[in-house]
Amino acid sequence: MTRLNALNTRRTHDHPQPRLKPRGIPPALEPHGVYAATNPADAALFGNDLLGPHRVHVTDTTGAPFEATFHGVLIRDVTLGYLDYSRSVRIEAHALPDDVMVLMPATGMSKAVTAEVEVEMSPVMAVIPRPGGPMVLDCPADSAHLVIRIARDAFDTHLSRLLGRTLDRRIEFEPGFDLSSVRSSRWNFALQMLHAEIYEPESLMHDTVGLGSIEEFLMSALLYCQQSNFSPQLSGSKPPVSAAVRESIAYIDGRLGETITVHDVAEASNVSVRTLQNLFAKDMDQSPTSWIKNRRLERVRSDLADADPNTDVTVTDIATRWGFTHLGRFAVTYKNRFGESPSRTLRT
């Protein structure tokens, strides 16, 4: 799949090219074909990375040629894609990837069953399937789908930051996502902005500027537009953390590139070091020192993912910029946190 900032298209040439231009494909995705399959078995095989292990069954009797196509762009932690089948199909996904996914019909009517809930889908009703769970999706021949997939680690990190504390459970969205509501206009606007940034060659995103910000905007829009088990906390009905911890987090985030001690943070928050440590243990389930290290790791990952691997930028440059001087220990910590080495993040 093409990664926007690296323009790595090597994986898009491995499979058959589509015979016809998919119907209704967003212009920004048209050049970014990932796969084209001419039979259901290949469609399921090629689509494994997108939907996990699944089967594709043709459900009409027209006898027309079968074709499945997927176009997509991976920005950093968000994939924007377009999935299209030329025939009516039933997709039986045994275990979806453990990421947050939104499926939006571009045309026509589809039906999804996820988390024992049936959702009648249309261009104004999307579905958010349960991550890691099964899903059955019935698609008529005239119903292509826009697919938005957000990496679980990035989503959890963003949600934790919005709440100001460590997550105590996994997020669960209501499966039916009404796109016609006034509240959902923010989600629709975020998607339009994302599409425009991908489509326009002179956009800031193509210069690797603002990738993280636009992804966070998209995640925030989803969190505030769609009901979930975290909606009460996000609405402010329950204060998530103490005032001292909120002040500490703001102080830390504004000085991540500087030398920060726990004493500095405590003084800025008008509490003692012991009180600060106790509050962080209670509200964040970690120490202030761990919070600082994790926020710096996130900044390193952001910079590595946004960097152009064809330049002379190095992991060392970025790691030391955010205060990591013991590079061997940093590499181990980074891999434990993000599941890949920092050099791999820089290359992909």
Please, which pLDDT band fits residue 47 given cuts at 50, 70 and 90? Answer: very high
**Tens digit of pLDDT for each residue in 271-305?**
999 999 999 988 888 899 998 998 899 889 888 88
For residue 131, is pLDDT > 90? yes
Q: Count the helices and strands in the chain (H runs, E runs).
A: 13, 13
| Mean pLDDT for the chain overall | 87
Model pLDDT, residue 12: 38
Model pLDDT, residue 13: 39
Model pLDDT, residue 337: 82
Model pLDDT, residue 298: 87
- Among residues 146, 133, 127, 44, the alpha carbon closest in space to that of 91 is found at 44
**Tens digit of pLDDT for each residue in 149-188?**
999 989 998 898 888 777 888 999 999 999 999 889 999 9
Residue of 280 and 16 predicted with greater confidence: 280
What value does the mean pLDDT take over residues 317-336? 90
For residue 22, is pLDDT > 60? no
**pTM score, whole prediction:** 0.77
Residue type, 48: N
Percent of the chain with pLDDT over 90: 59
For residue 342, is pLDDT > 50? yes
Distance CA 287, CA 293 (A): 10
Torsion sign, CA atoms 330, 335, 337, 342: positive
Return contacts of 327-333, CB within 8 angstroms, 24+ apart.
333/293, 333/297
**Tens digit of pLDDT for each residue in 231-272?**
988 876 555 678 899 899 989 988 988 889 999 999 999 999
Q: Are 71 and 25 in contact (CB under 8 A)?
A: yes
Q: Are 265 and 251 in contact (CB under 8 A)?
A: yes
In the chain, what are the domains?
1-239 (2.60.120.10), 243-347 (1.10.10.60)
For residue 5, is pLDDT > 60? no
Q: Can you read off the two tokens belonging to residue 82?
A: 């377009």
For residue 4, is pLDDT > 70? no
**Tens digit of pLDDT for each residue in 73-121?**
998 899 999 999 999 999 999 999 999 999 999 988 999 999 999 999 9
For residue 8, is pLDDT > 60? no
> Please, which residues bridge with residue 37 across strands?
68
SS3 (DSSP) at 103: strand
Q: Are 34 and 1 in contact (CB under 8 A)?
A: yes
Model pLDDT, residue 309: 66
What value does the mean pLDDT take over residues 43-52? 95
